[in-house]
Amino acid sequence: MESSRHARRFRGRLVLVTGAGSGIGRATAGAFAAAGARVICADRNARTASDGADLAKELGAHDAWAECVDVADAAAMERLAERVLDAYGVVDILVNSAGVGMSGRFLDTSVADWRRTLDVNLWGVIHGCRLFARQMADRGQGGHIVTIASAAAFQPTRAVPAYATSKAAVVMLTECLRAELAEFGVGVSAVCPGFVNTPFTAAMHFAGVSEREQARLRERAVRTLGGRGCPPEKVARAVLRAVARDTPVATVTPDARLVRLMSRFAPPLRRAVARLDPPS
């Protein structure tokens, strides 16, 4: 089991996971907990954050705590960083997992849609990195930051332009941070899954459609993608491996590996795929 294999490395380490109330974040908090880490489960929903912390304790966490925070809120994230430093010390590992889904063509995507997508998927990562990376650098004892990106970072598409743009930016931010933070002994990794079977799909927002159509499209997305997605625990295991090996960019699923290869070796095919519409 991946967590057991890394127990010596992560036992007693302080790990903060955003979006830890469900999906990949919850599974990742659980994986670090099973390796004996001290885990802070941060989520915008206080109840699910608490549930995540309880699960972490059940799975063997050295200790676990819940924190309620909206990663898109800069001031709230600053307060979180101060609380964590005062109460628990400097975080050894930060996992930026909080994210939102946004589907719909560019011309149908409103300013509010763009704002929410970028506020959570990009600015949420920026806030986490700028605050906790500073603490890691000042401490001078290394650390690691993980960003949960997506296969969408490598594949342009007319179906999810806002989401794909946010995730591509996260991968570039990760690469930039990796270059800058190396002098402080802080590793930075982007973990990029493809389809993952989580509640994320059921909460996807579709731009430019009625509420009735929104419900239909969500139901279709769950039906179409849910069965194809890998379990979030597989992504969580990839996160632990990425930290242990200091992997720059880790693709988790076959579809993610395929689109990354296409982006490097078959750009014309990649552009042709970008023009395809999802089934209606």
Q: CB–CB of 275/161 below 8 Å?
A: no
Query: What kind and span of H or E run contains 251?
Result: strand 249-251
The single residue of 32, 65, 163, 195 carrying the catalytic annotation is: 163
Instruction: Please state, in angstroms and rounded to a whole number, the distance separating the CA atoms of residues 206 and 108.
Output: 9
Q: Which residues contact 266 (CB under 8 A, 6 or more apart)?
A: none
Q: In which residue are the tokens 């990949």 written?
A: 24
Q: Phi then psi for 204, rounded to 5 degrees?
A: -55, 140
Q: Which residues contact 196 (CB under 8 A, 6 or more apart)?
A: 23, 24, 229, 230, 231, 232, 234, 235, 253
If phi > 0 it is left, if psi is from -120 to 50 it is alpha, else beta; for residue 130 that is alpha
Q: How many residues does the structure list for the chain?
A: 280
Coil vs helix vs strand at 275: coil
Instruction: Please state, in angstroms and rounded to a whole number, the distance separating the CA atoms of residues 217 and 262.
Output: 28
| Residue type, position 120, single letter | V
> Which of 131, 199, 192, 125 minimizes the C-alpha distance to 164?
192
What burial class does residue 135 get, using C-beta atoms within 10 Å of its C-beta: 0-12 exposed, 13-18 middle, 19+ buried?
middle
Active-site annotation holds for 163: yes
Active-site positions read 163
